[in-house]
Structure 1
Amino acid sequence: MKIIILGAGQVGTTLAENLVSEDNDITLVDNNETRLDNLQDKHDLRVVQGSASSPTVLREAGAQDADLMVAVTNSDEINMVACQVGAALFNTPTKIARIRNSDFWREKDRLFQPEVLPIDHIISPEALVTDEIIHLIDYPGALQIAHFADQQISVAVCKAYYGGPLVGYAISALREHMPHIDCRIVSILRQDKFIRPQASTIIEAGDEVTFICATIHIKAIMSELQRLERPYRRVMIMGGGNIALNVAQRLENQCSLKLIERNSERAEYLAEKLSKTMVFNGDASDQSLLFEEHIEEVDVFISLTSDDEANIMSALLAKRMGAAKALVLIQRMAYISLIQGGAIDIAISPQQATISELLSHIRKGDIVNVAQLRHGIAEALEVVLHGDPTTSDVIGRKVSELKLPNGAIIGAILRQNEVIIAKKDVVFEEHDHVVVYLSDKKAVTEIEKLFQPSAFFI
């Protein structure tokens, strides 16, 4: 596939790194020559310096025969114009744009039409991060939750602790503990090393366990790995940007919510927008303010400013003063592995959420949903099966008959609203939604080829 990526920021660069190893022809466009040179030295891709919305630059980048254009510059306006130029001058088949301004999102149904702004898919990092935070609030104790198959199947990551009934026992004991609930443990991270689980694998305290199950069973499975935490009732948010506002609006009817914003005018605006949230004009690094607002009673402290260092330091302070959990928004990927798992419980990356959504639209075949797990180390994807036994290498065959690449595990299937955990003797059928876990993303190309119907399928 020939793909043009507009913008070599963190999202554009990470997306290029993901796709260049998957047998794609990648061209990256950006104004920053030094950044482009560094990327070209590291990866097998083309680079073009210039404005992403310029017809001349897009022509030089090969827009006339590109299969896909992904506009992820820092400017919504440039992203929109670039897609419009791609449609009008080059008839680019698929155009994706990152749009962050909420004004555009409010009018998206009227704006993003073929005859107005011909963009096939729009992506909002703020909306994606908001959803991710809400998932984590809904499932206390989870490190990551990703929903698939119309939210009926989920991939969840959580840590095993002493007190969990399965800790110290083999995975096979899960069936004895919960005979009426089925799940598939697909990965264990133990002391920074991945273990492919077997029925005889012993779950140890401290393991990060990734499992796939019907969404309604997430909490039951988690209760086997740790003492199930009580629902979060007292939440404190630091920051008053759009993500913080969106999260507060989603939570204020179910939680006792406090929000701290440094800018007085923004704090007044938030107080008007939020009817059940206590809004404070102050600094979350102010120990006296945290003490006065009983930080020791807070179930989860959420740092959501645009400043990574401020988010980290305020979360560390909140934990030291007694907050039960700390969830932090981190822009720089390099910071995430350094902080998560210590005093800070969960780090959330807008870039990783955006990449997952972009890949859902880019993967070949009928791959309709992608989630990057453990900060890009692993991946889960949802494939819809088409064809018949003569045109598909999958349909009509058992799970055990598939030649899967190393690190690939078939987790679950949604068939006519029924969730089926993929045991060895399960036979694939047309229209199945199959959730596949990949511990090594290098296997993506092989999975795409395996699940694609032949050229004779119509």
Structure 2
Amino acid sequence: MKIVILGAGQVGASVAESLVSEENDITIVDTDAARLAYLQDRLDLRTVLGNAAWPSVLREAGTEDADLLIAVTQSDQSNLVACKVAKSVFNVPTRIARLRAADFLESEELLSADNFAVDFALCPEEIVTDYIAKLVAFPEALQVVEFAGGRVCLVAVRAYEGGLLVGKPIRAMREHLPPGLEARIPAIFRRGQPVSPDGGTVIEHGDEVFILAATELIRPALRELRRMQQPVRRLMIAGGGNIGLRVARRLQERYEVKVIEHSPARAEQLASALGNALVLAGDATDEDLLEQENIAEMDMFLALTNDDEDNIMAATLAKRLGCKRVVALINRRAYADMVQGGPIDIGLSPAQVSIGVLLARVRRGDVVGVHSLRRGAAEALELVAHGDAKTSKVIGRAIGAIDWPSGVIAAAIVRRIDEPQIVGFTDQGTRITRYGEVVIAHHDTVIEPGDHVIIFCVKKKLVRKVEKLFQVGFGFI
């Protein structure tokens, strides 16, 4: 596939790195010559220096025969103009734009083919906000991702000494789960390396374990691996920028929220925008300020400023002063890899969090969901099985009979996704309804047409093989 990426920032560079490894023809455009030179030295791609909204620059980038244009510059206006030019002048089939302003995001008419011609609008800040909200809901988790519209949940946790499964084989999990509750451990990472799990695999203290179940059943399954933390009630946010404001708005109704903002003028704006959160003008790396605001009583500290070093320092200080769990937003992936697991519980890379939504639009076959795991080292996919036993390599076959590449695990299936299923009742006796039947995959589980199959790839390079496996052929048998 020939792809033109506009913008060589964190999102553009992460997208380029993911796609270039899958044998795509990538050209990246930016006004920063040094940044382009850095990417060209590291990746097998072509670079063009210039304004991404100019037709002459787009022509030089080869847009006239591109299959896909991804506009992820820092400017909404440039991204919109580039998509319009790509459609009107070069007739690029698919155009994706990164947009921040709600005025653009909320207007389908403006993004339509007759106007700016944006096929898909990506807002990384909103994606990161959703992700952080899940981490607050699951304070013991390292990562939380959902599939099939939230029907299935995959959670990564650190196995701790004394957990019910630690020192025991995975098959022992069935002895502790309530009747009717099924869960799957599709992957384990031990000292940074993947372990292909089966029923006899023994979980060790410190393992990073991925556990998957229907969303309403994930908490009982997690209890097998970790001591459950108390639900979050009080949290502190360092930084009132785009992401900090979005997160505070999302969480202020359900939690006690404090926001620390360095700029007094910005703090006043935040105070006006946030009705139920306490806004403080100050420095989140100020030990006296954190102690005055009872950091030791906070259930979670979120360092969300635009400065990686400030986030690392603030989160480390908050942890030292007694905060139970700390999360730091870190743009440089090398920093995130380095600090997570020390005083900082989670180092969060915005580009890695948001890239999955974009990759789902790029993948071949009917891929409806992509999640980057372990900061890009692994991926989880949600694919729809199409065709029949004659045209598909997976339909009508048992999981154990399919020739999966080594390192690929079929973890679960969501079947009849449009049909309501009763999954429980409230205390008042009201039915709790979810759409789709969740089937935890076993070796004898047979894939049916229309199934949403959730696949775990311990290495990103395996994704291409999985996509080919799900492509419909002409008379396969």
Sort the TM-score into its range (normalised by shorter chain): over 0.9
In 2: Cα distance, 1:277 partner to 1:42 partner:
44
Summarize deviations over 1:183-226 as a string: whole Å, max 9, x none.
Answer: 21111122222211121111111111012211112211111111
In 2: Cα distance, 1:46 partner to 1:293 partner:
51
In 1: Cα distance, 2:154 partner to 2:94 partner:
29
The yes-or-no answer on 1:332 pairing with 2:332 is yes
Alignment of 1:149-228 (within 5 A): 149-178=148-177, 179-228=179-228
Q: What SS is found at the alignment partner of 2:89?
A: helix
Report if aligned partners of 1:23, 1:445 keep a CA contact under 8 Å in 2: no
Report if aligned partners of 2:303, 2:315 keep a CA contact under 8 Å in 1: yes
- Name the structure 2 match of 1:449: 468
In 1: Cα distance, 2:350 partner to 2:313 partner:
19
RMSD between superposed Cα atoms in Å? 1.5
In 1: Cα distance, 2:325 partner to 2:287 partner:
17
In 2: Cα distance, 1:448 partner to 1:439 partner:
15
The residue type equivalent to 2:355 in the other structure is I
User: How far apart are 1:456 and its partner, in Å?
Assistant: 6.9
User: How far apart are 1:296 and its partner, in Å?
Assistant: 0.9
- Name the structure 1 match of 2:419: none
- Name the structure 1 match of 2:439: 420
Summarize deviations over 1:17-53 as a string: whole Å, max 9, x none.
Answer: 2112212222222233343344334333222222211
Report if aligned partners of 2:295, 2:322 keep a CA contact under 8 Å in 1: yes
Deviates more, 1:199-208 or 1:179-188: 179-188
Summarize deviations over 1:377-421 as a string: whole Å, max 9, x none.
Answer: 100010011111111111111111111112110011000110001
- Name the structure 2 match of 1:282: 282
In 1: Cα distance, 2:32 partner to 2:278 partner:
43
Q: What SS is found at the alignment partner of 2:142?
A: strand
User: How far apart are 1:163 and its partner, in Å?
Assistant: 3.0
- Name the structure 2 match of 1:374: 374
In 2: Cα distance, 1:238 partner to 1:25 partner:
40
Q: What SS is found at the alignment partner of 2:224?
A: helix
Deviates more, 1:367-376 or 1:197-206: 197-206
Report if aligned partners of 2:390, 2:475 keep a CA contact under 8 Å in 1: no
In 2: Cα distance, 1:110 partner to 1:97 partner:
15
Q: What SS is found at the alignment partner of 1:224?
A: coil
The yes-or-no answer on 1:117 pairing with 2:116 is yes
Report if aligned partners of 2:139, 2:325 keep a CA contact under 8 Å in 1: no
The structure-2 alpha-carbon separation of the partners of 1:267 and 1:31, relative to structure 1 and needing over 3 Å to count, comes to closer
- Name the structure 2 match of 1:351: 351
User: TM-score w.r.t. structure 1 length?
Assistant: 0.96
In 2: Cα distance, 1:35 partner to 1:293 partner:
41
Alignment of 1:287-436 (within 5 A): 287-416=287-416, 417-436=436-455
User: How far apart are 1:446 and its partner, in Å?
Assistant: 0.9
Summarize deviations over 1:279-306 as a string: whole Å, max 9, x none.
Answer: 1111122222211211111100111110
User: How far apart are 1:10 and its partner, in Å?
Assistant: 2.3
Report if aligned partners of 1:129, 1:348 keep a CA contact under 8 Å in 2: no
Report if aligned partners of 1:259, 1:277 keep a CA contact under 8 Å in 2: yes
In 1: Cα distance, 2:373 partner to 2:168 partner:
25
In 2: Cα distance, 1:59 partner to 1:409 partner:
42
In 2: Cα distance, 1:455 partner to 1:82 partner:
38
Report if aligned partners of 2:211, 2:222 keep a CA contact under 8 Å in 1: no
- Name the structure 2 match of 1:142: 141
Summarize deviations over 1:313-348 as a string: whole Å, max 9, x none.
Answer: 111111111111101111111100110001000111
In 1: Cα distance, 2:273 partner to 2:299 partner:
24
- Name the structure 2 match of 1:10: 10
User: TM-score w.r.t. structure 2 length?
Assistant: 0.93
The structure-2 alpha-carbon separation of the partners of 1:108 and 1:350, relative to structure 1 and needing over 3 Å to count, comes to farther
- Name the structure 2 match of 1:127: 126
In 1: Cα distance, 2:4 partner to 2:262 partner:
40
In 1: Cα distance, 2:117 partner to 2:83 partner:
7
- Name the structure 1 match of 2:429: none
User: How far apart are 1:180 and its partner, in Å?
Assistant: 2.5
Q: What SS is found at the alignment partner of 1:450?
A: helix
In 2: Cα distance, 1:440 partner to 1:418 partner:
28
In 2: Cα distance, 1:35 partner to 1:348 partner:
22
The structure-2 alpha-carbon separation of the partners of 1:38 and 1:285, relative to structure 1 and needing over 3 Å to count, comes to closer
- Name the structure 1 match of 2:422: none
Which segments of 5 or more consecutive residues in structure 2 lack a partner in the other structure? Answer: 417-435
Deviates more, 1:191-200 or 1:35-44: 35-44
In 1: Cα distance, 2:350 partner to 2:18 partner:
16
- Name the structure 1 match of 2:63: 63
In 1: Cα distance, 2:351 partner to 2:242 partner:
16
In 2: Cα distance, 1:62 partner to 1:454 partner:
31
- Tell me the number of residue pairs that the alignment of Structure 1 and Structure 2 aligns: 456
Which segments of 5 or more consecutive residues in structure 1 lack a partner in the other structure? Answer: none
Report if aligned partners of 2:67, 2:92 keep a CA contact under 8 Å in 1: yes
Q: What SS is found at the alignment partner of 1:79?
A: helix
Deviates more, 1:305-314 or 1:56-65: 56-65
The structure-2 alpha-carbon separation of the partners of 1:40 and 1:268, relative to structure 1 and needing over 3 Å to count, comes to closer
In 2: Cα distance, 1:77 partner to 1:345 partner:
37
In 2: Cα distance, 1:455 partner to 1:123 partner:
35
In 1: Cα distance, 2:475 partner to 2:385 partner:
15
The structure-2 alpha-carbon separation of the partners of 1:456 and 1:29, relative to structure 1 and needing over 3 Å to count, comes to farther
The residue type equivalent to 2:80 in the other structure is M
The structure-2 alpha-carbon separation of the partners of 1:390 and 1:85, relative to structure 1 and needing over 3 Å to count, comes to same
The percent of aligned pairs where both chains have the same amino acid is 50
